[in-house]
Amino acid sequence: MNLKLPFFIILLIATFANAQETMIVKGSKPFPATQTYTFICEKYVFTGEADVQIAKTDKGGILKLTIGISNDKTRISGGVYVDLVNGDVIACTDKNSNETVDGKTSSYYYFTPAEMIKLKKTDIKAIRFIIKGTSNTFGDQTGYFTASNKMSYFSTAFDKSKKTFDTAAAISAL
């Protein structure tokens, strides 16, 4: 009895330590992925947030970009630019891979192996994207938006804690 409890606790901790996020793109096999980061999108007044997740594939990687919407006709479409902290920009073309579920729309963009190497070395600073949809009085905003790698809207000058997500470390761990 004395050995069973510590063994069980160690087994439980090891299980949670090895737990990893996954991403499934429309009927494909699951890919290992980072956690879902909530980037701040100040100009998008409906939620003010964009969820970002990156998965590793055999041929590079996948970016999943998700926003909350009020209208099912609203989509993230067009090209996406991933701005890195070191000033590099990764341009992703629209492959028309998107889905809308439970008041959220997601679009998927693909990275080459060379782009994944860049993402492993440098954190993401921001992601620029386009929202398209129908325009009516109480519809969603459309236009050009930027989701910034920030943990919160506000902070003080005295707050010395890290204010951005470590995306490069998480992508390297995949």
Judged against a pLDDT cut of 90, whether residue 163 lies above it is answered with no
> What gap in Å lies between CA 111 and CA 89, rounded to an integer?
12
By the 8 A CB rule, do 99 and 26 touch? yes
Neighbouring CB atoms inside 10 A of 142's CB total: 14
Phi, psi of 136 (to 5 degrees): -145, 180
Tokens of residue 147, six digits: 């989701």
Judged against a pLDDT cut of 90, whether residue 124 lies above it is answered with yes
Burial of 122 (0-12, 13-18, 19+ CB in 10 A): middle
Burial of 108 (0-12, 13-18, 19+ CB in 10 A): buried
41-98: pLDDT as tens digits: 988 888 889 999 999 998 899 999 999 998 888 899 889 999 999 999 999 988 888 8
Task: Indicate the pTM of the whole model.
Answer: 0.81
